[in-house]
Structure 1
Amino acid sequence: MTIDASRTAGLTPTALQQLLSTGRGPRVLDVRTPGEFRSVHIPGSYNVPLDTLREHRAELLAHLDEDVVLVCRSGARAAQAEQALAEAGLPNLRVLDGGMMAWEAAGAPVNRGEARWELERQVRLIAGSIVLVTGVVGLLVPGVHLIGTAIGAGLTFAALSNTCAMGMMLSKLPYNRGPRTDIRTVIASLRDRS
């Protein structure tokens, strides 16, 4: 099975389901945090968090000799992973359009674990709380409202750059990390499927 490189880098949930149903489908790498992965993931996918993938992409290349589909919550982190792996020389890369949100909306099969708040929801809670508190306190203490303004500027930058510093910081919390993803374990799993 070879993915046509002339097509766009996206792959719909329906198309991925069809490829996986053949039994010879692509490798599916989920680049979300281990905590997110444990809460819900595509059966047979491998969890390689984005930071781990970036750090160990050279090691991964030797074990990704076939087509690879990258998955995250909505597609943003998967696109970053695609860029990192493409720069390292891996040719057959695709990103699941809409990520796990689209996969679940399509009614595709998933493995579920303990429910956790997604990073985006955590960012909204933290950013919203900071803006709310500094807005109220700013009524009594001049200048405190500027903290909320800085958070707003950070969220605007996050949207424009398709990155999120607050999300990256939150992903490092023990709640989001879950058990650490060991690159040797990931490589052994990839090797076993070959």
Structure 2
Amino acid sequence: MEGLSNLFRGNGYTTINGAQVKNILNDSNIVILDVRNPGEYRNGHIPKAINIPINEIQGRLSEISLYRNSAILVYCASGSRSIKAADFLSRNGFKKIYNLSRGISSYKGTLSKM
């Protein structure tokens, strides 16, 4: 239930679906934040995504703070880690946050691999 309550409580971020993400990615200034683990990231990620695993996000806040005034798209594998990340970013002063509902599985574009 925690995930559902986060979607509806005016949490400071916008939840979008895979179809909507295409429009968001047209913004050349958007920061794409992949909060999955490095192995998941290497297996395929949204192009230009920065990988900061959810368990490192708090310790790397100063690094992410460079993007405080930018639009940020946050995603993970299924949507649960990205909800936590979006909530954390919102509580730390980020204003334009998009959470990809159902994670990377709902993304319909081509994935990059490294």
Same fold (TM over 0.5): yes
Structure 1 residue 73: Cα displacement: 0.2
Alignment equivalent of 2:21, drawn from 2, 7, 16: 16
Partner of 1:108: 109
Partner of 1:46: 50
Residue type of the alignment partner of 1:12: N
Structure 1 residue 36: Cα displacement: 0.5
Structure 2 unaligned segments of length 5 or more: list them.
Answer: 1-9
CA deviation vs aligned residue, 1:123-154 (integer Å, no higher than 9, x gap): xxxxxxxxxxxxxxxxxxxxxxxxxxxxxxxx
Alignment equivalent of 1:84, drawn from 84, 88, 97: 88
Contact 1:30–1:48 (CA under 8 A) maintained in structure 2: yes
TM-score, scaled to structure 2: 0.79
Which structure has more relative contact order (CA 8 Å, sep 6+)? It is 2
CA distance in 1, matches of 2:64, 2:48: 17
CA deviation vs aligned residue, 1:145-190 (integer Å, no higher than 9, x gap): xxxxxxxxxxxxxxxxxxxxxxxxxxxxxxxxxxxxxxxxxxxxxx
Alignment equivalent of 1:60, drawn from 64, 69, 73: 64
Q: For 1:150-189, what aligned pairs fall within 5 Å after superposition? A: none
TM-score, scaled to structure 1: 0.49
Identity across matched positions, percent: 23
- Greater radius of gyration (CA): 1
Alignment equivalent of 1:72, drawn from 64, 69, 76: 76
Contact 2:36–2:77 (CA under 8 A) maintained in structure 1: yes
- The number of aligned residues is 104
Q: CA 1:10 to 1:101, structure 2 compared with 1: closer, same or farther past 3 Å? A: same
CA distance in 2, matches of 1:88, 1:41: 25
Structure 1 unaligned segments of length 5 or more: list them.
Answer: 114-194
